[in-house]
């Protein structure tokens, strides 16, 4: 029924708005938008009420129709039986018996009709759930049964890669780029130029609309997804996994559930979060809270870094993708964290996306600047301040200047 389907969709919208408001209530208050959000909430509730009333009217009409049909059928049978009684083809006892039988039959029919209404009511949320559960990913797993042979070091290559989230707004435009195995490369450029999107194509969160991405010389679409995910570690600026009922020890172990306590402590120390955890009342048993709400932004970032550090212990980890993973840290802590984890990346192919050129000075072999979805410039990753005044003056001055003011 159209009204019922729409009502359940409004229920879903109501639930989504409630969750979003709870998660973002601080920003809603700071922007002084409580009244607007409340108005949106009331509007959705009014729509639910309107569709509910409309559905109730329809159900009342059909309910009356059911009653008329069943009552009419019972009266028709009664008149037939009375006619048979007057014709002496039926005695009084049989008439009473048939009337009681028809009454039970009509009661059963009424019950089945009501059951159909309840089934129809329950079917709408089931239909919404089935629509979600039956949705298929555009990223299809490889048909290859045999896993790929993983070399000691893995190269990356992007060949004529094109990608867009919306057809009218291309994000990557014929990107051609080769990263040698074991090299460490920094991606820089203005916001929206496609740096982070390029990383999402490596571990196949998305597939390019044109071109191909090669990992270890093989098209990523030929890699079994599970194996590709074992090869790649990606940590984004909003990365990290937090559960409301999990302590920090289990939270840190998420990427490596069998990690020993000593391994967890080592990872926490490398991420510069161990001392702060020990300063908490419950130490490693302290609850991080839903989405890490019991931690500060910098603490969440370092816990996520510690999770990534533990995942690096897997022998198949050959590619590390760091997407502004230290963006919430001050310059001193950022430098300390990067210096701590960099020895662990020896021999691995590393891509670092950053807006802080100074953070990767001397750590990467090469820096690549992106502009308008393409590779714009490439320059060595050491002594970046020496490039001022030459071909790379504009990107270096623009990116490095913010760290000297």
DSSP class of residue 247? B
Checking if the pLDDT of 395 tops 80, the result is no
Contact between 389 and 206 under an 8 Å Cβ cutoff? The reply is no
* Rounded-to-integer distance, Cα 58 and Cα 73, Å: 23
Checking DSSP bridges between strand 156-166 and strand 210-215, what pairing results, if any? antiparallel
According to DSSP H, which parts of 214-370 are helical? 225-231, 248-252, 261-270, 274-278, 297-311, 331-341
* Rounded-to-integer distance, Cα 299 and Cα 290, Å: 14
Return the higher-pLDDT residue of 190 and 107: 190
pLDDT tens digit sequence for 323-378: 888 877 888 888 888 888 889 888 899 999 888 777 787 788 888 888 888 888 88
* Rounded-to-integer distance, Cα 213 and Cα 321, Å: 15
Checking if the pLDDT of 187 tops 60, the result is yes
**What is the sign, positive or negative, of the torsion defined by CA atoms of 81, 83, 89, 91?**
positive
pLDDT of residue 23: 67
**What is the sign, positive or negative, of the torsion defined by CA atoms of 228, 229, 230, 236?**
positive
- CATH 3.40.50.300 for domain 156-401, yes or no, is yes
Query: HEC profile for 41-59?
Result: HHHHHHHHHHHHHHHHHHH
| Spans of all domains in the chain | 2-133, 156-401
pLDDT band (50, 70, 90) for residue 203: confident
Question: What is the four-CA torsion angle of 93, 97, 100, 105, rounded to 10 degrees?
Answer: -160
pLDDT band (50, 70, 90) for residue 1: low
Output the pTM of the full model.
0.69
188: left (phi over 0), alpha (psi -120 to 50) or beta: beta
Residue showing tokens 């990356």? 156
CB atoms within 10 A of CB 358: 17
């Amino acid at each position: 029924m159209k009204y019922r389907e729409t009502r359940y969709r409004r229920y879903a919208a109501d639930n989504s708005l409630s969750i979003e408001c709870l998660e973002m209530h601080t920003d809603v208050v700071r922007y002084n938008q409580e009244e607007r959000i409340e108005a949106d909430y009331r509007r959705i509730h009014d729509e639910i009420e309107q569709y509910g009333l409309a559905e109730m009217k329809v159900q009342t009409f059909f309910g009356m129709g059911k009653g008329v049909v069943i009552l009419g059928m019972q009266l028709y049978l009664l008149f037939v039986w009375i006619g048979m009684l007057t014709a002496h083809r039926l005695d009084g006892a049989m008439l009473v018996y048939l009337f009681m039988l028809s009454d039970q039959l009509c009661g059963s029919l009424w019950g089945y009709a009501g059951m159909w209404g309840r089934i129809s009511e329950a079917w709408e949320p089931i239909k919404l759930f089935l629509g979600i559960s039956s949705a298929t990913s555009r990223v299809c797993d490889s048909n290859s049964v045999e896993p790929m042979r993983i070399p000691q070091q893995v190269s990356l290559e992007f060949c004529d890669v094109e990608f867009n989230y919306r057809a009218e707004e291309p994000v990557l435009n014929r990107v051609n780029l080769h990263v040698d195995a074991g090299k460490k490369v920094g991606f820089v450029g203005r916001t929206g130029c496609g740096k982070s999107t390029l990383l999402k194509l490596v571990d196949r969160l998305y597939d390019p609309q044109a071109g191909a991405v090669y990992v270890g010389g093989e098209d990523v679409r030929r890699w079994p997804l599970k194996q590709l995910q074992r090869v790649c570690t990606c940590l984004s600026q909003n990365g990290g996994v937090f559960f409301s009922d999990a302590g920090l020890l289990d939270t840190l172990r998420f990427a490596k559930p069998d990690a020993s306590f000593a391994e967890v402590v080592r990872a926490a120390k490398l991420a510069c979060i161990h001392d702060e955890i020990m300063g908490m009342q419950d130490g490693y048993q302290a609850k991080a809270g839903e989405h890490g709400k019991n931690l500060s932004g910098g603490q969440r970032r370092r816990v996520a870094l510690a999770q990534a550090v533990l995942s690096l212990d897997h022998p198949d980890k050959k590619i590390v993708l760091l997407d502004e993973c230290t963006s919430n840290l001050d310059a001193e802590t950022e430098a300390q964290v990067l210096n701590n984890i960099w020895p662990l990346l020896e021999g691995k192919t590393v891509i670092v996306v950053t807006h802080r050129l100074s953070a990767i000075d001397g750590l990467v072999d090469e820096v690549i600047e992106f502009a308008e979805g393409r590779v714009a410039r490439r320059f060595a990753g050491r002594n970046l301040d020496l490039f001022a005044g030459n071909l790379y003056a504009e990107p270096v001055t623009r990116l490095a200047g913010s760290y000297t003011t």
